[in-house]
Amino acid sequence: MAIWTVHAPPSPGISAEPEDDFVFIREGFSWSALLFAPLWALAHRLWLAFAIWLVAMMLISLVSAKLAPTVGGVLSIGFLIWFACEARDFRRAALERRDWQLIGVVDARTAKLAEQAFFTKRAAQRVEGGNTPAAALPASPQQPRTGAFPPVIGFLSGDRP
């Protein structure tokens, strides 16, 4: 199961429904950022990430010219793997700098299931009329969380002991 973070814009967007502007970002490795790093960064309007990629690749090219080309190849592969591991965190940081708020965490296999789970919990919260934030609700409709501790986020799954 993948972990998704849900982000809301600082003010209502252009959509009729505010929920249409929410952004779901998956945790983990990004294959598209690995294979198409500069295009991926530009497509997500991550100018700082693009600049980091550009500068790093130029430095790696200089190192490769001064040393053996094998060293440059190893450095570029290592950098691209690191970039793909951190790419989604770059997106989260950019949203945070733009005053977007993290409003929830959901675990689901796909983006569509993550949206369904999040909005189902949000609707249930509105019906109950509680003041509990959406992030504090259970993370998955298939596996209701019971217990005193919040769910573990990361490589571990299930409830805390």
Express each pLDDT in 65-75 by its tens digit: 998 888 889 99
Taken in order 116, 154, 97, 131, is the CA torsion positive or negative?
Answer: positive
> Predicted confidence band at 148 (pLDDT cuts at 50, 70, 90)?
low
Residue 42 pLDDT > 80? yes
pLDDT at res. 159: 53
**Burial (Cβ within 10 Å: 0-12, 13-18, ≥19) of residue 135:** middle
Nearest to 87 by CA among 139, 142, 27, 147: 27
Q: CB count, 10 Å around CB of 53?
A: 22
Backbone angles phi, psi at 112, to 5 degrees: -65, -45
Give the mean pLDDT of 57-80: 92
> Predicted confidence band at 153 (pLDDT cuts at 50, 70, 90)?
low
Give residue for tokens 């970039």. 83
Give the mean pLDDT of 118-134: 74
Q: CB count, 10 Å around CB of 8?
A: 19
DSSP 3-state assignment of 83?
helix
Give residue for tokens 């490769």. 64
pLDDT at res. 79: 95
Taken in order 49, 55, 56, 58, is the CA torsion positive or negative?
Answer: positive
Higher pLDDT residue, 86 or 159? 86
Distance between CA atoms of 136 and 37, rounded to whole angstroms?
Answer: 34
> Predicted confidence band at 141 (pLDDT cuts at 50, 70, 90)?
very low
Structural domain boundaries in the chain: 2-28+98-136, 31-93
